[in-house]
Structure 1
Amino acid sequence: MDHPSPTPAAVLTSTATAALADSSLTDRAGWLRAAADVLDGHADQIVRLADEETHLGAARLTGELARTTGQLRLFADAVEEGSFLDVTIDHADPDVPRPDVRRMMRPLGPVAVFAASNFPLAFSVAGGDTASALAAGCPVVVKAHEGHPRLSALVGGLLATVLPAGAVTVLHGREAGRALVRDPAIRAVGFTGSLTGGRALFDLAAGRPDPIPFYGELGSLNPVVVTPAAVAARGEAVARDFVASFTLGSGQFCTKPGLLFLPAGHGLEAALVEAVAAVRPGPLLGEWIRAGFDERLAALAALPGVRGLVAPAPGDGHTASAALLTVPAARFAAEPAAAQECFGPASLVIEYADRADLLAALAAVPGSLTATVHGESDDDADLVRAVLDLATERAGRVVWNGWPTGVTVGWAMHHGGPWPSTTAPLHTSVGVAAIRRFLRPVAYQNLPDALLPEALREANPLGLPRRVDGRLREPVAATPR
C-alpha cells in the first residue's frame, strides 16, 4: 500500500517542524502567551461570531474563551518549568558495567487535530490539543468543525499573526480530514467527537503503512452512584443538583452524568420530575445534533423495562427540552443497548435493589471519562469501597460528593478513560499531562557533551529538573532557554 500524496497543509506545516522542534523553551512559551493575548484582544469579535454559529450564548462562550487562553498560558508555564522533558541521566559506571545514557522527550512531529462541535473554542483551533502540541514543539493542522467554519477561520488567522509560519494551519471538509489522517507528514491525531466518526478515523490511523497514535475522545456515560445513606441525608438536594448537571449546556458536555443509580424506594421521583420540568428548553448545536438526540432518546425509551419520567416537549432544530427515564438495575444490566450515550439533555435513572444488583449494573457500564459517588460517613464501608473500586476500573476521574461537569485545567487533571470514552486511556486531553501525547523519548549513549542537546549536557545549562543516577535533582540557575 502506497502513501497518499501529502496534503497542501501538511507540506506547509512540514516547513515549521524543525523550527518548532529546535526552538528554545523561552521562545515556545512566548508564542503560547502571544496566542493567548491575541485571542483575548479580539474577544468581542470571537464571542459574537461563535454565538452566531453555535447558539451557545455570550456568557458561556466568554467563559470558554477564558478557559482557552488560560490553558495556552498554563502550557507556557509548563514549558518554562521544563519537567515535561523528563530528562534522565545515568552516568557511565565501569563496575556494573554501564555506558553513559541520557534520555529526554522530543517532539513527535506534525499533529492533526479534529475540532469538536460542543467546544468551539476550548476544543477547536486554539484548544487544548493545539496548545499541548505546540508546547511539545509540534506544528498543528486543524480540521475545522462544520458547525463553526467562520469562527475557525477567524481564530486560525489570528494565530497566524503571532506564531511562526506553518505552526497552525486550518483545513475544512470531511474528505480533507480523512486525507489528513493518511498523510505521511502527520505523526499523531487528536480527536474529540462521536464514537462512529472517531472509530472510522482511528481505523484509518491504524491502517496506514506506518500506523500513528490516534488520541480520540469518543463519548461517555459518566455514571453517578448514590448510596442509601446519601439519599436519607440529602436526597432532594442530590436530585436537584443532578438535574442541573445533566442539563448544563443542554446536555452537550462530554462529562454529562448520563446515568443516576438510586436505591429502590428512594422517594425522589417527584423531586426529579419537578427539577426537570423547571429546566427551560435550551439551544442545541445544530439540526444534526437534534436529529441524533431524538433518534437515540426514542430508541432508549422503547427498550424493555424503560419507563419515561419526563418526556421532552417538541422543539425546533436548535432547541431541546430535558427528558428523564428510569429502568430497574437488573434490566439495565441485561440490555447492552441501554448503556449507550444520548448526547443532549437526557439521562437515565437506574434503581438498584441491593448491593449485588448495584454492582452488576455498574459493571455493565462501558468505559467513561468520569464516575461519581455520593455517600456519607456512616455508609456501609464495604459497599462504598466496592463501588469506588469499580468506578476506578471504569473511569479516568472518580468524583466524591460532587458532579463531573466542569473540568479543571491544571497539572493533576486526567480527562480520559477506558474504551469507548477514549482510544488511549493512558493519556489526557485536558491539563498539562496532555503534552505527553505529542512527545517521544530518545536516549543518547556515550555522546560527547558538546554533541548532546542542551537539556542533557552535564552542566545543565537550562536549569531543568532532572533525574541523575536515579535521584531527582532540583533545577539550578539557568542561562536563558
Structure 2
Amino acid sequence: MSWTPSGRHFIAGEWIAGTTTFRSEPAHGQAHDFAVGTTELVDRACRAAEAAFAAFSATTREERAIFLEAIAEEIDKRGEAVTLIGTQETGLPEGRLNGERARTTGQLRLFAEHIRKGAHLDARIDAAQPDRQPAPRPEIRLVQRPIGPVAVFGASNFPLAFSTAGGDTAAALAAGCPVVVKGHSAHPGTGEIIAEAIAAASERTGMPAGVFSLIQGGRRDVGTALVTHPAIKAVGFTGSLAGGRALFDLCAQRPEPIPFFGELGSVNPMFLLPAATAARAEAIGSGWAGSLTLGAGQFCTKPGIAVVVDGPEADKFTSAAKAALEKVATQTMLTNGIATAYHDGVDRLRASNAVAPVLAAESAGRDAAPNLFETNGSAWLADHSLSEEVFGPLGLVVRVGSPEKMLALAESFQGQLTATIHMDDADLGLARDLLPILERKAGRLLVNGFPTGVEVVDSMVHGGPYPASTNFGATSVGTMSIRRFLRPVAYQNFPADLLPQDLRN
C-alpha cells in the first residue's frame, strides 16, 4: 500500500494544515514536513471533545465496542504502510513494528470484548427497605461513568501501542471519553496514518466529530495548553521523569486539579538469590543480556539492575552476561535525542569512581552498543545517581556482601514498574523476606523470568509507586486501565426510565 503523509493535524473530523512546519528525522528513508501544533489548535480540539462528550458518553457499550473493532480493522487495512513509515521513522525492525501493530489492534479488540461484558461498570444495587426501623432505606444504585475528555501524549518508544491509538486512547474511548492526542514528533507520519484509521472508523460507525483529534508537534506551550485546558479531565502520559513531572505539577495546580496518569521511569531490579545463582548463573546472565538489549534497551521494563551476593557465582553470572552482550550488534536508537542521552549515561558511569566497567563499547550518532558495569552495595547506597535510569542497552551489576545486605539494598529502591526474583526451592526463606519489600516497590513482581514483554490481559499491572508512575493504584496496560477514565456515581430513588441504561436491569 503506497502512502505519503499529508503533514496535517486531525481536529474534530477535519484535516488541518499549518503555516509553520517541522521536518521529521527518520532513521532511514525520506523526511517529511508536518504542521506544528499551536495553543489555538489545542483549544479547538478540546472544545470539540467537550461538545462530543454528551453524545459519545451516551452511546451503548455495544456501539463503542463496534467503534473500537472498526479502528482495529482500519489499522489492519493500512498494515503495510504503517510498518513502512514506522520503520523509517524509528529505525525499529519490521518484525517489531508488525508485532506492535498486532498488540495495538489486539488491545482495541480486547477492550471491545471487555466493555461488552460490563464488568468495568462495577454496578451495585442496594434495594429499598421501606419497613426498616427506625428509618426506611431508599434504593441506591451505583455505576461507573465516563469522566470527560482525556488528553493522551504519544510515547517515543512505542509508536503504535502507547501512542495515537495505543492503550490510553483505547481505554478512554472504551470508557466513553473523547480523546485529544498530542503526537510525538519522533514519529509523526506513524501518528498521522493511525489517525486516518481512527477517522475512517469514526465515520463508519457514526461517532461525533470531536471524539478524536490529533495535534502534531509544537513546543512546550502546546503540551501545557493541553493539560491545563478546562475541558480536559484526565491525562495519559508515557515519557521522561522530568517532562512527566512538569505536566503532573501543572495538572495539580489547575483551578480544577485533574488526575495525571504518567509512566515516568524504572530500572526494574532483578534479585539473584544464592541457590538460583549457584545452579544457573550462566543461564541467568545470558538471559539478562537478551532482555537488556531487546529493542536497543528502549523498553520501560528493561531490567537495568542485577543484585547478586558477591562470590564465584556472581563472577559466573557477570561473565556470562558480558559474553552474551559482546555478541550483540550495534542498534539504531529511536531518536537522536534518545541516543545522545544514552551516550551521556554511559559517560557518566565511566567517570564515576563508584563503578567499574565490565564491558565498555564505543558507539556514536544514533547507534548504541551494549555496556555493562558493576559496583558494590555500599557504593550503591552512597550514590543515588547509580539508581537513575539509563535508557538503552546498559546494565549494572550490584554485588552485596550477604543475603541480609540484599534485603537492605532492596529497601533503598524507589518505585518501580517491575521487580524480579531469581530463585530455587532452597531460596524460599529469603524470597519470603524479600517479597513484602518488593510488594511496596513495584506494580508487577516476577519469579525466574525477565520483565520485557508486557502481556495485555485482565490481570496485568503496568504501573507502580512514584517515580515509576504518578498514580500507584492505576495501570496503563490491561483491561483494568479503563478505571482511570471512569468515576462512580450513585443514584438514589431514581425512576427506571431516568437511570443510565446499564443500571436499569
Q: Could you say whether these structures have the same fold, taking a TM-score greater than 0.5 normalized by the shorter chain as the test? A: yes
Q: Can you list the C-alpha shifts for 1:202-245, whole angstroms capped at 9, x where unaligned? A: 01111110000100000101000011101111110000000100
User: What 5-or-longer segments of structure 1 have no aligned partner?
Assistant: 461-481
Residue 158 of structure 1 and its aligned partner are, at CA, apart by 1.8
Residue 356 of structure 1 and its aligned partner are, at CA, apart by 2.2
Which residue in 1 is equivalent to 2:268?
222
Q: Is the 8 A contact 1:55 1:285 kept in 2?
A: yes
Residue 92 of structure 1 and its aligned partner are, at CA, apart by 1.3
Which residue in 1 is equivalent to 2:237?
191
Separation in 2, partners of 1:425, 1:252: 22
Residue 141 of structure 1 and its aligned partner are, at CA, apart by 0.2
Which residue in 1 is equivalent to 2:283?
237
Q: Secondary structure at the match of 1:39?
A: helix
**AA in 1 matched with 2:407:** L
Residue 162 of structure 1 and its aligned partner are, at CA, apart by 1.1
1:103 aligns with 2:137: no
**AA in 2 matched with 1:106:** R
Which residue in 2 is equivalent to 1:126?
165
Q: 1:168 aligns with which of 212, 222, 228?
A: 212
Q: Secondary structure at the match of 1:220?
A: coil
Separation in 2, partners of 1:270, 1:78: 46
Q: Is the 8 A contact 1:336 1:364 kept in 2?
A: no
Residue 361 of structure 1 and its aligned partner are, at CA, apart by 1.5
Q: 2:198 aligns with which of 125, 148, 159?
A: 159
Q: Is the 8 A contact 2:56 2:176 kept in 1?
A: yes
How many residues are paired up?
453
Q: Secondary structure at the match of 2:271?
A: strand
| Residues 65-464 of structure 1: pairs in structure 2 closer than 5 A | 65-93=101-129, 94-95=131-132, 97-163=136-202, 164=207, 165-172=209-216, 173-174=218-219, 175-265=221-311, 266-268=314-316, 269-315=318-364, 317-379=365-427, 381-457=428-504, 460=505
Q: Is the 8 A contact 1:29 1:79 kept in 2?
A: yes
> Structure 1 residues 52-61 or 328-337, which shifts more?
328-337
**AA in 2 matched with 1:124:** S
Q: Secondary structure at the match of 1:308?
A: strand
Separation in 1, partners of 2:432, 2:386: 26
Residue 140 of structure 1 and its aligned partner are, at CA, apart by 0.2
Q: Is the 8 A contact 2:292 2:393 kept in 1?
A: yes
**AA in 1 matched with 2:417:** L
Q: Is the 8 A contact 1:339 1:364 kept in 2?
A: no
Q: Is the 8 A contact 1:107 1:440 kept in 2?
A: yes
Separation in 1, partners of 2:166, 2:91: 19
Residue 32 of structure 1 and its aligned partner are, at CA, apart by 0.2
1:34 aligns with 2:70: yes
**AA in 2 matched with 1:54:** T
Separation in 1, partners of 2:434, 2:386: 20
Q: Secondary structure at the match of 2:201?
A: coil
Separation in 2, partners of 1:205, 1:272: 42
Q: Is the 8 A contact 1:327 1:350 kept in 2?
A: yes
Residue 324 of structure 1 and its aligned partner are, at CA, apart by 0.5
Which residue in 2 is equivalent to 1:465?
none
Q: 2:84 aligns with which of 42, 45, 48?
A: 48
Q: Can you list the C-alpha shifts for 1:150-177, whole angstroms capped at 9, x where unaligned? A: 2111211221111122221001223222
Separation in 1, partners of 2:104, 2:416: 24
Separation in 1, partners of 2:381, 2:48: 51
Separation in 2, partners of 1:388, 1:404: 17
**AA in 2 matched with 1:328:** N
Counting aligned pairs with the same residue, the percent is: 46
Separation in 2, partners of 1:98, 1:416: 40
> Structure 1 residues 95-104 or 427-436, which shifts more?
95-104
Separation in 2, partners of 1:151, 1:346: 28
Q: Secondary structure at the match of 1:155?
A: helix
Separation in 2, partners of 1:240, 1:252: 18
**AA in 1 matched with 2:233:** R
1:13 aligns with 2:49: yes
**AA in 1 matched with 2:53:** T
**AA in 1 matched with 2:112:** A
Residue 437 of structure 1 and its aligned partner are, at CA, apart by 0.2
Separation in 2, partners of 1:296, 1:267: 24
Separation in 2, partners of 1:419, 1:84: 25
Q: Secondary structure at the match of 1:166?
A: helix
> Structure 1 residues 27-36 or 349-358, which shifts more?
349-358
Q: Is the 8 A contact 1:28 1:135 kept in 2?
A: yes
User: What 5-or-longer segments of structure 2 have no aligned partner?
Assistant: 1-38
Separation in 2, partners of 1:300, 1:443: 54
Q: Is the 8 A contact 1:303 1:338 kept in 2?
A: no
Residue 8 of structure 1 and its aligned partner are, at CA, apart by 1.0
Separation in 1, partners of 2:459, 2:400: 33
Separation in 1, partners of 2:497, 2:340: 62
Separation in 1, partners of 2:465, 2:140: 34
Residue 360 of structure 1 and its aligned partner are, at CA, apart by 1.6
Separation in 1, partners of 2:401, 2:374: 14
**AA in 2 matched with 1:245:** S
Q: Can you list the C-alpha shifts for 1:72-104, whole angstroms capped at 9, x where unaligned? A: 000000010001011101111231542211110
> Structure 1 residues 117-126 or 12-21, which shifts more?
12-21
Separation in 2, partners of 1:373, 1:321: 27
Q: Secondary structure at the match of 1:444?
A: strand
Residue 15 of structure 1 and its aligned partner are, at CA, apart by 2.5
Residue 252 of structure 1 and its aligned partner are, at CA, apart by 0.2
Which residue in 1 is equivalent to 2:24?
none
Q: Can you list the C-alpha shifts for 1:342-390, whole angstroms capped at 9, x where unaligned? A: 01110110011102211121211111000000000122x3311111221
**AA in 1 matched with 2:164:** V
Deviation >3 Å, runs of 4+: none
**AA in 1 matched with 2:377:** A
Which residue in 1 is equivalent to 2:21?
none
Q: Is the 8 A contact 2:235 2:260 kept in 1?
A: yes
Q: Can you list the C-alpha shifts for 1:1-51, whole angstroms capped at 9, x where unaligned? A: xxx987111112223211210001111000000000000111000010011
Which residue in 1 is equivalent to 2:18?
none
Residue 305 of structure 1 and its aligned partner are, at CA, apart by 2.2
Q: Can you list the C-alpha shifts for 1:380-418, whole angstroms capped at 9, x where unaligned? A: x33111112211110000000011000000101010000
Separation in 2, partners of 1:76, 1:129: 14
Separation in 1, partners of 2:394, 2:501: 54
Residue 57 of structure 1 and its aligned partner are, at CA, apart by 1.2
**AA in 2 matched with 1:296:** G
